[in-house]
Amino acid sequence: MERPAAEPGAQPRANGCSGAAHGALRNGYVRGLPAPDTQIHHIVHNGGLYKKPFNEAFEETPMLVAVLTYVGYGVLTLFGYLRDFLRQWKIEKCQNATEREEQKDFVPLYQDFENFYTRNLYMRIRDSWNRPICSVPGAKVDMMERVSHDYNWTFMYTGRVIKDIINMGSYNYLGFAQNTGACQEAAAKVLSQYGAGVCSTRQEMGNLDKHEELEKLIARFLGVESAMAYGMGFATNSMNIPALVGKGCLILSDELNHASLVLGARLSGATIRIFKHNNMQSLEKLLKDAIVHGQPRTRRPWKKILILVEGIYSMEGSIVRLPEVIALKKKYKSYLYLDEAHSIGALGPSGRGVVEYFGLNPEDVDVMMGTFTKSFGAAGGYIGGKKELIDYLRTYSHSAVYAASLSPPVVEQIITSMKCIMGEDGSTFGKECVQQLAENTRYFRRRLKEMGFIIYGNEDSPVVPLMLYMPAKIGAFGREMLKRNIGVVVVGFPATPIIESRARFCLSAAHTKEILDTSLC
Nearest to 254 by CA among 354, 322, 353, 346: 322
The partner residues of 201 in beta bridges, in order of sequence, read 404
**What pairing do the DSSP bridges indicate for beta strands 457-458 and 56-57?**
antiparallel
Nearer CB in complex with another protein: 315/320? 315
How many CA atoms, within 13 angstroms, populate the side-chain half-sphere of residue 41?
A: 19
The conformation of residue 126, written as its DSSP 8-state character, comes to G
Is 502 a binding residue for another protein by CB under 8 A? The answer is: no
Nearest to 335 by CA among 251, 279, 418: 251
Contact residue for another protein among 21, 156, 205, 520 (CB under 8 A): 205
Phi, psi of 310 (to 5 degrees): -115, 155
Residues 277-306 touching another protein, rule: CB under 8 A, are 288, 291-292, 301-305
Q: Are 143 and 133 in contact (CB under 8 A)?
A: yes
Stretch that binds another protein, among 77-85, 261-269, 426-434, 445-453 (CB under 8 A): 261-269
Q: How many CB atoms lie within 10 A of CB 148?
A: 13
Choice among 314, 375, 397, 405 that is catalytic? 314
Residues 330-359 touching another protein, rule: CB under 8 A, are 332-335
Residues 138-157 touching another protein, rule: CB under 8 A, are 138, 141, 144
Task: Say whether 342 is catalytic.
Answer: yes
Contact residue for another protein among 11, 148, 158, 200 (CB under 8 A): 200
Cα distances from 167 to residues 172, 509, 513, in angstroms, run 9, 12, 14
Is 240 a binding residue for another protein by CB under 8 A? The answer is: no
Residues 102-121 touching another protein, rule: CB under 8 A, are 102-103, 105-111, 118
Nearer CB in complex with another protein: 323/487? 487
Task: Say whether 398 is catalytic.
Answer: no
Phi, psi of 449 (to 5 degrees): -65, -40
* Amino acid, single-letter form, for residue 348: G
Is 95 a binding residue for another protein by CB under 8 A? The answer is: no
Nearer CB in complex with another protein: 57/125? 125
Residues 158-177 touching another protein, rule: CB under 8 A, are 167, 169-172, 176-177
How many CA atoms, within 13 angstroms, populate the side-chain half-sphere of residue 321?
A: 25
Maximum CA pair distance of the chain?
Answer: 74
Is 223 a binding residue for another protein by CB under 8 A? The answer is: no
Choice among 210, 211, 329, 342 that is catalytic? 342
Stretch that binds another protein, among 50-58, 350-358, 373-381, 475-483 (CB under 8 A): 373-381
Is 258 a binding residue for another protein by CB under 8 A? The answer is: yes
CB of 403 to another protein, least distance (A): 4
Task: Say whether 461 is catalytic.
Answer: no
User: Active-site residues: which are they?
Assistant: 314, 342, 374
